[in-house]
Structure 1
């Protein structure tokens, strides 16, 4: 599952973990990304100490098999972590799905946790690049799921996704226990406060958030990438967000 940050990605990971037949991996390349780029993120040193920072070892593990003998291996990937030089060959052995969210909602949420995000931080450019690469491999657009649809009707959205993935849908995907999870990355204490308080997907979102001028410019930069993925996946870029 490929998304930028603040895309409902952790809730989606919790939904798949709740199935009972699924191992999950939280942002496998995060430590490698921090080590390779030198970028300053919250808990940078703790992340690189607690998680594997070798991108080749991580890529090899992403090929499977799924841990603990599970039938399904759900990997929550951040698009911005797949920097130049990291092996993407493992993606050919996976079914790649793209989780998207309106840039205004992403920017508003991200800025609450880390001020001054840039276009590179929120992952839309990288998501479009990965989307194109997978589409080229497949000869068609890969699967896309929009967080707007998940929040509007979680059951229908997840049932449709499971059908696309040729997996049985289970009602267990719609809820999970509150609190931290054993498979959370160490960064959860900074980023996951809201989802730790949840026991399922939230209610449909209201109007798009009001943003300061610099953040509105960032949204304008990201919108063409978001809208192109919508359009090329056969979805309506003019639908409510």
Structure 2
């Protein structure tokens, strides 16, 4: 797998856009924001001068792009790419994952999208992709816990860089606030990231939570086992073989 092409897969509201903002600050990767979900939502995305309309076509163009320079792709897992034309995705590049406690993710997602269905929370799709990557490579992909970015950003990113095979750049841990063109299609979802200057905790309270809303409660218990799979992986990062 091409180490020059690096993926980060997270559920919506998992701090993955803040992570992308850090990658933008590095300046050593071409950064793509949710190109696979763009194909699902609008039927196409762009890679350089190319307009592409399928997941496999997108994978090929990203591979070609990464032949000349490092490429970073941040994508969300509310959609099932593997069984909808993206079966080639796990065999392209190096795949990493970011997880966040579903008790934080689910109310935040629901506040942005009250019409969401339970599957769109994304942990099931995320763990299916992670398992497929493990089957192909024989090792567990690297998993970041978003909460660690809030308590030890430097150490967490340093370990991530080691796991992903890229140099650690301490200067990337802070940045100037502002919207970024790369996430313009979905900018209303990224106002926390746009207003941030580093990895920072949001203390926003939500009216509907997994404690007081039955639908969100049921979604939590549906996705919790998937989250726990990747959380276990995150806590055993030195595992080097399939168990």
- Residue 191 of structure 1 is matched in structure 2 by 189
- Judged with a 3 Å threshold, the aligned counterparts in structure 2 of structure 1 residues 162 and 48 are, in CA distance, closer, same or farther, namely same
Deviation of residue 213 (structure 1)? 2.5
- Judged with a 3 Å threshold, the aligned counterparts in structure 2 of structure 1 residues 48 and 179 are, in CA distance, closer, same or farther, namely farther
Whether the 8 Å contact between 1:8 and 1:147 is mirrored in structure 2 is: yes
- Residue 37 of structure 1 is matched in structure 2 by none
Whether the 8 Å contact between 2:77 and 2:120 is mirrored in structure 1 is: no
Q: Does 1:110 align with 2:117?
A: no
Q: Distance in 1 between matches of 2:98 and 2:133?
A: 14
The alignment partner of 2:177 has SS state of coil
Whether the 8 Å contact between 1:63 and 1:90 is mirrored in structure 2 is: no
Q: Does 1:27 align with 2:34?
A: yes
- Judged with a 3 Å threshold, the aligned counterparts in structure 2 of structure 1 residues 64 and 4 are, in CA distance, closer, same or farther, namely farther
- Residue 75 of structure 2 is matched in structure 1 by 77
Task: Give ranges in structure 2 of 5+ residues lacking alignment.
Answer: 1-7, 238-243
Offset from partner CA, 1:202-227 (integer Å, 9 cap, x none): 04879996542321111111100000
Trace 1:1-241 onto structure 2 (pairs within 5 A): 1-34=8-41, 47-48=42-43, 52=51, 54-55=53-54, 56-66=56-66, 71-81=69-79, 82-188=81-187, 190-203=188-201, 210-235=211-236
- Judged with a 3 Å threshold, the aligned counterparts in structure 2 of structure 1 residues 235 and 116 are, in CA distance, closer, same or farther, namely farther
Offset from partner CA, 1:95-121 (integer Å, 9 cap, x none): 100111111111011111111432211
Whether the 8 Å contact between 1:180 and 1:196 is mirrored in structure 2 is: yes
Deviation of residue 72 (structure 1)? 2.0
Between stretches 226-235 and 150-159, larger displacement belongs to: 226-235
TM-score, with structure 1 as normaliser: 0.82
Q: Distance in 2 between matches of 1:20 and 1:231?
A: 32
Whether the 8 Å contact between 1:50 and 1:186 is mirrored in structure 2 is: no
Q: Distance in 2 between matches of 1:88 and 1:160?
A: 29
Between structures 1 and 2, the one with greater strand share? 2
Task: Give ranges in structure 1 of 5+ residues lacking alignment.
Answer: 35-46, 237-241
Q: Distance in 1 between matches of 2:148 and 2:73?
A: 21
Number of residue pairs aligned between Structure 1 and Structure 2: 221
- Judged with a 3 Å threshold, the aligned counterparts in structure 2 of structure 1 residues 154 and 192 are, in CA distance, closer, same or farther, namely same
Whether the 8 Å contact between 2:82 and 2:129 is mirrored in structure 1 is: no
The alignment partner of 1:117 has SS state of coil
Whether the 8 Å contact between 2:145 and 2:234 is mirrored in structure 1 is: no
